Amino acid sequence: MSGAVARIGIIGAGAWGTALACLARQAGVDVVLWAREPEVIDAINKQHENTLFLPGIALDRGILATGDLAEAAQADILLLVCPAQALRSVGQDMAAHVGPDTPVAICAKGLERGTHKLMTEVLAEVLPQAEPMVLSGPSFAADVARGLPTAVTLAARTHDRALAVAATLAGPTFRPYIGTDLIGAQIGGAVKNVLAIACGIVEGRKLGDSARASLMTRAFAELTRFGRSFGAHAKTLAGLSGLGDLILTCSSLQSRNMSLGYAIGEGRSVDEVLGERRSVSEGVYTAGVVVELAEQRGIDMPIARAVHGIVEGRLTVQQAIEDLFNRPLKAEFEPG
């Protein structure tokens, strides 16, 4: 990227994409927000509000919503905020309209089903001309859109590339910390979604604060083991995009994944809850990928495995709890 940023394209007009559009407008650049849903496009352009995904937040009139992917893709910076499982198809559709070396920040948190690939690996296949980045961290869309203080990680291949984009998005209440660990920034965001379902189950089942604190701690141990096996840096996993995002997602029912777990803990089925939602709970789709990769790599991830069994309908919540507590006793930390 060279020169001043004049236009940012945001691909995906869910709650997070809309919140990022608010941030981008604060930087004084043109913002084009791509949405699949005609009703979302109409509401943003005419009512200046995303009434479906982010109701109650007034949007700057300079945010243009469009259903034309080519129009949104022709930008100085692109933010990919579509669901993780849709990133490949969306990237393919926009490939012809993305210029060489365009910074493309992945804001989706997940691993691709079937291929087991990281989002940057998918991006390299469908948009090889792009400059890959990852924007991740503890950030609820409503908080960001309302201007509440938030800090995240922006990872790129070099600090200079990350800094150029971070400077555009940064504002009085939004602080991107830059880094170069693209793998770690992705692993934290993907795996915490699975583990947040478990924390939601604990809350919905009313198992107590002690159980939730214990689960969060052991969940972080699983996330760390998984990330290190991919070459993620320990400091990244213990930072905003790892531990920070895990804490947030496991502590509030604003989280789609925790609220899903809460409903499961109360006795509702996964299909019933998902059938009521327009937004995506990424942890449901990532759980199987995480468990399969963990098994291939010999990584012990009992909490993720329990979540996968529950969402697949192979385990009841009570069976999962019994399995976790009947595991052989062991040291809390591995030697070395």
Q: Which residues are catalytic?
A: 192
d(CA 124, CA 146): 34
Residue 218 corresponds to which tokens in the numbers above?
């052991």
Q: What is the phi/psi pair of residue 106, to 5°? A: -80, 120
What is the distance, to the nearest Å, from the Cα of residue 22 to the centroid of all Cα atoms in its chain?
18
Cβ atoms of 134 and 105 within 8 Å: the answer is yes
Indicate the DSSP class of residue 278. S
Taking residue 96's Cβ as centre, other Cβ atoms within 10 Å add up to 9
Q: What is the phi/psi pair of residue 80, to 5°? A: -90, 105
Under 8 Å CB-to-CB from 56, ≥6 apart: which residues?
Answer: 49
